[in-house]
Each structure stands twice: as C-alpha cells, then as structure tokens.
Homo-oligomer: A and B are copies of this chain.
C-alpha cells in the first residue's frame, strides 16, 4: 500500500513505435493467450489460476481456500464507490465463497476535490457494511498519470477447502441457469445517463423503476445458495451481457453450450428502454445476474428461490459446439464483442 509514483524516469526499454499497437479496451482473448498468459507462474498451492472467464484465483490455505480477485474501474464516476465494492464482491460470490475483505486503490487526477474522494469512500464503506465485507486497506493518490478517477479493487474471499466453485467446472449435460434477469445494470445506467433521449419514448415511472435496478447488482445471495445445491460452475454476467458470459463460461470449462436466448428473462423496463434505443439486452452490461451450470437444476432453482432470487433455465452445456437458439433459428455463439453500452453512448454522445 505504498505509492511508487516517484519513479518518473520516462525511458521505455522498447519504444511503442517499434511494436504493434494494442487496440483500446480490455485486451482480447487472443492477446491474453499470446502476450500475458505465457508469463503467468504457478506453484502447488495455487488451486485455480487466471484464464478466460476465470475471474477469481484460488489458493490453498489448509482447511480453507483463499479466493482472490481484482477489478479496475476505469470509467465510472457516478456511484463509483458503490460499484467498486459490488463488482469485486460479485467475482468472489461467483465462487460461492464468502467475501471477507477489500483493498481499495484510488488514483485521482490533479484537481480532484476532497469532497469527491470522501463521497467515494463513504459509498464504498456503506456498501461494504451492507454486504458484511471489510475494507481493510488500499492506497489513495493524486497523480497526473490518470485523466479521470481510476479505482482498482481487490477482494479476498474464504471458503471451506473444496467448498467453492469456479467457472471451469461445468460438465456436458449440465443445465445452464441464470439468476434475476438480463441487463439489470445496463438498464439502470441507460435510464440515468440517457434520460433526455428516453423522455417521451419511455414512461417516467418506468425510467424511475429502471434506475432503481442499481440496487440489485449484487449476486451474493444467489452465489451462496447455488454452491450448496448442485451447481458445478458459476460466472457473473458483466460486460458484453449474458451472451458474452455464456461464451466465457463455456470457454473456461472447455465445453460447448446451447443457449435458448428466448428463455432469458428480460424485464419490462429493460425491454422498453432497449427497444427505444435499439439495444440488444443480451449484449448489454449485466451485473446482477449470475450464470450457474448445474447437474441438478430443480434443486438449484429451489435453492435460489429459497434465497429470494428468481432463477431460470436458459440452456444446456454440451461437449462441443457453441450455439444460440433465438427466434426459432440456431446461430453460432461468438466470443465477446463490444458491449452495447459503449456503442449506444458513443452514438448519442460522440466518441469518448
């Protein structure tokens, strides 16, 4: 938790112009495989390491497993503290482990105000208390290396040894379930950020309800319930929506999948807002939904219901071939594309 900002010597060993540029955005699966994964390292007490769709790593701590995950938040300002806590805890929740502690690193651009910092911290603290997780440290720094606030959150979870899942555990024949509905987070963001564009096309009371979807972005309840009731693998829906998350779960498990797109629950408010904007809700950022592969879907769905979280069967894991059935047609399920939110915000606001 110490700053290294004083190492300002700016000589790069390899000038960027001599190597192929990496395109903006999250690094592609291809580049991860070529440039990043070959340099990851391991040791015998690493039980689960990084990979496509594997958002958390797991370490052997004797009778316990230690789950760790790390998420940067490089764009948000509105509700940054709250999102930071939820995003990291959701990754732990997707293993069925209990989120224990967070480290919050905040990098602020010069000119940032004290009130801004305090607001982020207050939101983070309140959200952590609500989830029962502790913010135990981090780092706070004002640095010209960022042009807007960047948060990086680390979450640590604990499970009984063997009492956790990861995204790579699905088996052929498992049912594929989803909790709540598609695009919960994206619906809330669009309702708040594009309120002007939506006025007159979506009723004010629908927009008001949609904005409150942000209260449902945690998947802790369903994660806890599903891990005890037949689940074999879990993965939280985030960028790229349900379609991307399903592809990632299949990739992490080395399997195929058949996704019944018409079965994916989409709430009225989401449908109204997405239709008005020409957005595909299944490709829209969707924290609040947890994908669950299960060998015993009735038991898993009953456990979700018992936790007060609706769950729906949306497909089947299979040995090979990734397809999506939609409107009676079967198409190939392709790897992550750009999230709908990116596209629509750029259409409305111009390039970021």
- Cα–Cα distance between A18 and B50 once the two chains are bound (Å): 42
Distance in Å: Cβ of A105 to nearest Cβ of chain B: 5
Which residues between 1 and 49 of chain A lie within 8 Å of chain B, taking CB atoms? Answer: 1-27, 31-32, 35-36, 38-43, 45-46, 48-49
The answer on a CB contact under 8 Å between A8 and B105 is no
The answer on a CB contact under 8 Å between A6 and B285 is yes
Distance in Å: Cβ of A135 to nearest Cβ of chain B: 5
Given contacts A14-B113, A87-B2, A113-B17, contact A72 B142 (CB under 8 A): no
Q: Which of B25, B43, B57, B341 contacts A132 (CB 8 A)?
A: B43
The answer on a CB contact under 8 Å between A59 and B4 is no
The answer on a CB contact under 8 Å between A57 and B158 is no
**Copies of this protein chain in the complex:** 2
Does A66 have its Cβ within 8 Å of any Cβ on chain B? Answer: yes
Given contacts A112-B22, A119-B13, contact A352 B144 (CB under 8 A): yes
| Set of chain B residues within 8 Å of A69, measured between Cβ atoms | 1, 103, 137
Given contacts A2-B238, A72-B152, A76-B7, contact A108 B55 (CB under 8 A): no
| Set of chain B residues within 8 Å of A150, measured between Cβ atoms | 107, 145-146, 150
The answer on a CB contact under 8 Å between A50 and B5 is no
Does A133 have its Cβ within 8 Å of any Cβ on chain B? Answer: yes
Does A239 have its Cβ within 8 Å of any Cβ on chain B? Answer: yes
User: Size range of the interface on A?
Assistant: 35 or more
Which residues between 324 and 344 of chain A lie within 8 Å of chain B, taking CB atoms? Answer: 339, 341-342
Distance in Å: Cβ of A64 to nearest Cβ of chain B: 5
Does A259 have its Cβ within 8 Å of any Cβ on chain B? Answer: no
- Cα–Cα distance between A23 and B141 once the two chains are bound (Å): 9
Distance in Å: Cβ of A226 to nearest Cβ of chain B: 19
- Cα–Cα distance between A352 and B6 once the two chains are bound (Å): 10
- Cα–Cα distance between A29 and B61 once the two chains are bound (Å): 34
Does A178 have its Cβ within 8 Å of any Cβ on chain B? Answer: no
The answer on a CB contact under 8 Å between A342 and B25 is no
- Cα–Cα distance between A317 and B177 once the two chains are bound (Å): 60
- Cα–Cα distance between A78 and B76 once the two chains are bound (Å): 30
Does A271 have its Cβ within 8 Å of any Cβ on chain B? Answer: no
Closest 6 CB pairs between A and B?
A: A19-B115, A19-B113, A50-B137, A39-B125, A57-B136, A39-B121
- Having A35-B121, A40-B125, A71-B139, one finds 17 other A-B pairs with CB under 8 Å, namely A2-B55, A3-B239, A4-B83, A5-B25, A7-B341, A9-B75, A21-B112, A22-B117, A22-B142, A36-B117, A39-B125, A46-B134, A49-B134, A61-B64, A63-B63, A72-B139, A147-B147
